[in-house]
Structure 1
Amino acid sequence: MKRSKDTFKLNYQYRIVPNDQQVYQLNEWLYKLCRIHNLMLEERFNWWERNRHSVNACPIFVTHLPELKEQPGYYSQKRATHWSRETCKHLYNGVHSQVIQEAIKRVEDTFNRFIKGDLSGKRSGKPRFKSVRRYRTFSIPQLKPGCLAVTPNPHCRKNGGTRRDIAYISLPKVGQVKLIYHRPIPEGFTIKAVLVSRRADGWYVTLTLEDKSVPTLKSPEIEATQENSLGLDVGLEKFWTASDGEIEPIQQHYRRSESKLASLANRKDSKPHKSASRRKLAKKISKHHQRLQRKRKQFHYKSAAKLVNRDEKVFFVEDIKPGNLSRRNKPKQNEKGEYLPNGQSAKSGLNKSINDAGWGQFLSILAYKAAKAGKAVVKVKPHNTSQICSCCNRLVKKDLSVRMHECLCGLILDRDWNAAINIKRVGLGIFPTIKRRKRSRKEPLKEAYTVIFDSV
């Protein structure tokens, strides 16, 4: 769901069934767009490496300064007089002009995130040149009105039920493509753009629907209290634990299929390179990964719906970054330059479990479903939420392997439950801040000490 200033947008995804000629044409488009993507990216890299250093002073009578080239941009690269249109004319023949412009715009956005960063100033990694197998999506920014034709299916099922409607979508320069119309488009919405993707099990289109009659609505400001709020702590032993003690068991979709994927990979590696049997096994592995991805996403939607259907209006969750948690350890070297053990082999299993859980996807789905239901999801800092006692505010240091919280006050509680209670307290503003008091070297370190409250 996407809101702009004057419109209300939705994204609906459908599966399409193109014929053999259309499949060949779509694959040819992806191949040509991939080549254009690499050419535009190469030109930007060449200009950046040769012109990124400024010239302050130079003896002109000795050194010859060549004429500086114009920095390649979106408008200069999409011009018809561009050098690539002359030398690589075969890449532009047969492809819709707006599809090429969207591919160049994709290069523009990727390169700007690498050089300048996004709106928050965070820069992404260096863009990579795409192989044909990795370039699987292209965008069509405009479609004609009435491009989707839906007719009722006159046939009935064996049990007397109605069959799915017959639908065809008209793509420019491709023609009428059969579409699996599994859910109807809401009334008042028009199709503004389409995203065509090639996946392991076929082709899909993502329709961008727009309704200008829906006004922009501000999300209601909900005041969080003890009664209408809930704290959530995500983990690997339990998927999430609520502050009231409710838990959601973790599924571990990849872990359950790890042995099967390993056997398929071993069979594929034993086949000759570029053979038909190797390609079949590779496609089988891709379909298996796609099936795991869909199972994980379905589990996230069901778990988020389970939380949104509760009576609470505000959900406090951890402001975590799974990408940082699953980052590789920094290498260690001695004085001779030899690499030392850095604990990466022990952390690799933890990284695999973190990626299998998919916390980031779940939290984004929870925020989306909560917004539709008129509820709020608030992210809070999770620092020391699992170390501080939720009863007496003592800091009890414990390793990650210790799953029970035992405090000197007598509280014995599950570690995740204790963290969920503290996350709720952080969101409500009653969580204590830690003030580490200085101790002398002779003073022994205590196992637990009282946390001091800040005066607000």
Structure 2
Amino acid sequence: MFELSSTHHDREAYPVSRTRNTPHLRSHHLDARGSQRAGRSCASLRRIKPTQRTFQLTREYALGYYEQKRELVDIKEERPEYQEIASHVLQDVILRLKRAYDDFFRRVHNGEQPGYPRFQGRNRYDSFTYPDGAGWKLDAAARPAAKKGIVRVNLKLSKIGTVKLHLHRDIAGTIKTLTIKREGEHFYAIFTCEIGKPDPFPTSHEDVGIDLGVSHYAALSNGEFIDHPRYFRKAEKKLAAAQQALSRKKRGSRRRKKAVQRVATCHRKIANQRKDFQHKASRKLVNQYQVIVFEDLRVKNLTKAPAAKQDENGKYLPNGASAKAGLNKSILDAGWSTLTAMVSVKAAWAGRTVVFVNPFLTSQLCSGCGAVVKKDLSERWHSCSCGIELDRDTNSAKLILNLGYQQLSVGTRPTSATA
């Protein structure tokens, strides 16, 4: 699995970029228990430190990041279990807490919904990080694995032991951080690497407007469609059966733990399928088109439940909540925001341009003459008095491309583009 960092959009402002390589850990039972022990200790420390931040209201000064780091020495003396965890791993827990509070105050300052940092139980804290080169070592001697294209190396983790690592590709660049993450019963090593500035792609002579939808995953302005894979819908019955079996298990029992893993496995498979599809679709779009235009959709607003309706006697009337719930499920299954984020990141690396336009009336206006042609959601064909007849999603995609050109302040296709 390979993931591009979504924080770098400007090619000129970021001469050095970072990538994430996520090979699979094939850990023995003893090693898995060591990783779980480290995760539990980090989760416990993460629960202690927010309390100290709350207590700062009664102090004359704020208890910050560096003060909490210095207290780790005393904590290790009071609680010997923390001596079994690498110091830099514990320091990263304090750093994560600092970032959580920084993000909280940033949201407060910007007038956004704050979301105060919450206490995290051990089931919510599923990773720990070595923030630099200390505490781990990657064995250079690689051996071929059973599967083609995969090599096995040994990864030595401080105070945990040696685990076998399956590398799906070479680790490029300089490794900056290492994170061990647990997903269900699987462990992954995430290497964040620093690499040089990539070369831009050759200039393409094609642009595209994209209308994201439910019947088709995406309609392109050139008349092409990307089919909706509907991974969640296909796995919905299997997931429902696993969740129903989980609800019947006694809390704290071994069977319940196994049932939890089965539900997590279903969710993980759906997420991996969706992410694989989105990576491939975004790569194809970036490779082919120079200017890519999307609607600036607010998925949170699109998936709101309809307001309740009452008659004069206070009796609730049908409001289409059931149908809206099904539509919301399909919208969330599509993962539009993730696709646009992937396209934006890949475009920044390739020297492409991504534009987001206002979605107001893009489904009702004619792409040829600009007239308003009102259509119900069930109407899938656009027919205008100017003579244009085409699929309504294709019409919207053409209109989105025209709006993108207007936003770029050009009447025709721009001769050059920057990410």
Establish whether TM, by shorter chain, passes 0.5.
Answer: yes
Describe the SS at the equivalent of 1:378. Answer: strand
Cα distance in 2 for residues equivalent to 1:148 and 1:430: 49
Counterparts of 2:66 and 2:317 in 1: how far apart (Å)? 50
Contact 2:199/2:350, CA 8 A, preserved across alignment: no
Q: Distance in 2 between matches of 1:135 and 1:289?
A: 18
In the alignment, is the contact (CA less than 8 A) between 2:86 and 2:135 conserved in 1?
no
Of 267, 279, 283 in structure 2, the residue corresponding to residue 289 of structure 1 is: 267
Partner of 1:37: 46
Question: Which of 36, 59, 79 pairs up with 2:70?
Answer: 79
Letter of the structure 2 residue corresponding to residue 28 of structure 1: R
Letter in 1 for 2:53: R
**1:39-438 mapped onto 2 (5 Å cutoff):** 39-47=48-56, 51=57, 68-80=59-71, 89-90=79-80, 92-117=82-107, 122-144=112-134, 147-153=137-143, 164-186=150-172, 189-211=173-195, 214=196, 216=197, 228-310=206-288, 312-329=289-306, 344-429=321-406
Question: How large is the RMSD of aligned CA atoms in angstroms?
Answer: 3.4
Q: Any idea what the Cα deviations from partners look like across 1:257-291, whole Å, max 9, x if unmatched? A: 11111112112222222222222122111111111
1:322/1:149 CA distance change after superposition, 3 Å:
same
Distance 2:50 2:311 in 1: 39
Q: How far off its partner does 1:118 sit?
A: 8.6
Aligned partners of 2:40 and 2:122 also within 8 Å = yes
Q: Work out the CA distance in 2 between the residues paired with 1:271 and 1:368.
A: 43
Worse-matched range after superposition: 285-294 or 275-284: 275-284
The one-letter code matched in structure 1 to 2:353 is A
Match of 2:21 among 12, 36, 41: 12
Q: Secondary structure at the match of 2:192?
A: strand
Distance 2:310 2:336 in 1: 33
What is the TM-score of this pair, normalised by structure 2? 0.84
Higher helix share: 2
Query: What is the DSSP-based 3-state SS (H/G/I as helix, E as strand, rest coil) of the residue aligned with 1:117?
Result: helix
Query: Secondary structure of the residue that 2:222 maps to in structure 1?
Result: coil
Distance 2:373 2:17 in 1: 49
C-alpha spacing 1:412/1:285, structure 2 compared with 1 (3 Å): same
- Farther off after superposition, 138-147 or 99-108: 138-147
* Structure 1 residue 172: Cα displacement: 2.2
Q: 1:81 and 1:404, CA in 2 relative to 1: closer, same or farther beyond 3 A?
A: closer
Contact 2:200 2:350 in 1 (8 A): no
The Cα of 1:357 is off from its aligned counterpart by 0.4
SS in 2 for 1:135: coil
Structure 1 or 2, whichever has the larger Rg, is 1
The residue matched to 1:204 in structure 2 has which SS?
A: strand
Tell me the distance in 2 between the aligned counterparts of 1:138 and 1:335: 57
Per the TM alignment, residue 412 of structure 1 is displaced from its structure 2 partner at its CA by 3.0
Give the total of aligned pairs.
400
Shift of 1:393: 1.1
* Percent of paired sites with the same residue: 32
Shift of 1:400: 2.8
Asked if the contact 2:357–2:407 (Cα under 8 Å) also holds between the matched residues in 1, the reply is no
The structure-2 alpha-carbon separation of the partners of 1:209 and 1:163, relative to structure 1 and needing over 3 Å to count, comes to closer
Change (3 A) 1:257 1:389: same
Query: Would you say the 8 A contact 1:115–1:123 is kept in 2?
Result: no
- In the TM superposition, what whole-angstrom CA distance separates every residue of 1:352-377 from its partner, at most 9, and x where no partner exists? 11111011111122223333433222
State the alpha-carbon separation in 1 of the partners of residues 319 and 64 from structure 2. Answer: 43
Q: 1:264 to 1:217 in 2, by over 3 A?
A: closer
Residues of 2 paired with 1:413 and 1:24: CA distance? 60
In the alignment, the residues of structure 1 paired with residue 156 and residue 300 of structure 2 have an alpha-carbon distance, to the nearest angstrom, of 40
CA–CA distance in structure 2, aligned partners of residues 287 and 425 of structure 1? 43
Q: Within 2, Cα distance between the matches of 1:389 and 1:400?
A: 16
Question: How far does residue 169 in structure 1 lie from its aligned partner after superposition?
Answer: 1.8
Q: Give, in angstroms, the shift of residue 100 of structure 1.
A: 1.4
The 3-state SS of whatever aligns with 1:257 is helix
Q: How far apart are the structure 2 equivalents of 1:163 and 1:363?
A: 30
CA distance in 2, matches of 1:347, 1:162: 46
- 2:119 and 2:142 mapped to 1: Cα distance? 45
C-alpha separation between the residues in 2 aligned to 1:116 and 1:374?
31
Q: Which runs of 5+ in 2 are unaligned?
A: 409-419
Distance in 1, Cα, partners of 2:318 & 2:170: 57
TM-score by length of structure 1 reads: 0.77
SS at 1:92 equivalent: helix
Higher mean Cα deviation, 121-130 or 273-282? 121-130
